């Protein structure tokens, strides 16, 4: 199976597929604005595997996920909800995508909250956490997932404005959200940061983005040590080529069409193949895991 041009499911119904029916590749396509919109992607990303059964791993928990409107963040939200968690998502301005994610979480019988704003602004981060505590009654899992990337042919093409913006969203946002959330996190809480395979392999056209992702690895390791005495675990996930809205909103059509074809498994990955790593790191199954990185990347072997 190569291109899979099935229509999008109705709002509240996540895209699903069995493992053997996952798309191997996607048709060339682009979107003009970042971070991109899932409603404009063909095919839509697979959010959760057919037959994924929750077992109450996150029963009674409250999770906050940045970039939770689409892509990996949406998949994590749906998986968390199926495992019993109430879910708040933060997104920039993709209102249609965000409301679709809310409906998916609610369809799992859980409470959902969507908050629009820029995580790179410390005041917003604090306000968002306050809303989560006030409306959902607590916070147990923080997923710092939102990011942006802007490819450039040369380091000389990266403007000061782009450099500052990329670091503000990808790194400053993690600091601000974590600082705001920490007073509310109790022993047993989990923080999960989304880094990238580019932190380990590098990327010649994503110099600033790769730099932020490397910083996230260092932050994860350092913060895990800083919070160990409080019983708060901090880990990261480093996805490889995953089919999310960031891809068509970042790259040219030709690169989108070949996206993921160069990994050992020979295909792009789906959010549904990444989200279970977050479930593991958020749950008691990983109670002895902190400061680590999981690598769902299609078989690329990296150090770390």
Pull the structure tokens for residue 299.
């078989």
Please tell me which residue in 91, 176, 200, 209 is annotated as part of the active site. Answer: 209
Q: Which two tokens stand for residue 238?
A: 């480093």
Q: How far apart are CA 190 and CA 182, in angstroms?
A: 10
d(CA 272, CA 204): 28
Q: What share of the chain is helix, strand, coil (3-state, %, to 5)?
A: 40, 10, 45
Task: Give catalytic status of residue 209 as yes or no.
Answer: yes
Coil vs helix vs strand at 192: strand
Strand pairing category for 141-144 and 190-194? parallel
Residue pair 235/192 in contact by the 8 Å Cβ criterion:
yes
Which long-range contacts does 2-8 make (Cβ < 8 Å, 24+ apart)? 3/27, 3/43, 4/43, 5/42, 5/43, 6/43, 6/44, 8/39, 8/44
According to the 3-state scheme, what is the secondary structure of 64-129? EEECCCCHHHHHHHHHHHHCCCEEEEEECCCHHHHHHHHHHHHHCCCCEEEEECCCCCHHHHHHHH
Nearest to 304 by CA among 242, 237, 241, 231: 237
Catalytic residues: 209
């Amino acid at each position: 199976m190569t291109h899979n041009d099935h229509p999008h499911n109705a709002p509240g119904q996540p895209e699903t597929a069995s493992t053997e029916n996952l798309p191997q590749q996607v048709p060339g396509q682009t979107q003009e604005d970042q971070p991109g919109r899932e409603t404009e992607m063909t095919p839509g990303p697979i959010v959760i595997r057919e037959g994924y059964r929750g077992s109450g791993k996150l029963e009674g928990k409250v999770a906050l996920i940045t970039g939770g409107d689409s892509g990996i963040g949406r998949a994590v939200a749906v998986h968390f909800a199926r495992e019993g968690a109430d879910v708040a998502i933060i997104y920039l301005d993709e209102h249609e995508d965000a409301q679709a994610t809310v409906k998916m979480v609610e369809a799992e019988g859980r409470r959902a909250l969507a908050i629009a704003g820029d995580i790179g602004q410390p005041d917003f981060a604090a306000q968002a956490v306050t809303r989560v505590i006030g409306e959902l009654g607590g916070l147990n899992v923080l997923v710092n997932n939102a990011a942006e990337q802007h490819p450039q042919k040369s380091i000389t093409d990266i403007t000061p404005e782009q450099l500052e913006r990329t670091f503000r969203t990808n790194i400053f946002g993690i600091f601000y959200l974590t600082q705001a959330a920490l007073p509310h996190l109790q022993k047993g809480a989990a923080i999960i940061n989304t880094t990238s395979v580019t932190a380990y392999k590098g990327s010649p056209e994503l110099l600033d983005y790769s730099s932020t992702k490397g910083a996230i690895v260092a932050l994860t390791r350092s913060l895990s040590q800083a919070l160990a005495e409080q019983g708060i675990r901090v880990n990261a996930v480093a996805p490889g080529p995953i089919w999310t809205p960031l891809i068509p909103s970042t790259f040219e059509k030709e690169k989108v069409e070949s996206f993921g074809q160069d990994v050992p498994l020979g295909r792009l990955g789906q959010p549904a193949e990444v989200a279970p790593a977050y479930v593991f790191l958020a749950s008691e199954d990983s109670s002895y895991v902190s400061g680590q990185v999981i690598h769902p990347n299609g078989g690329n072997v990296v150090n770390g």
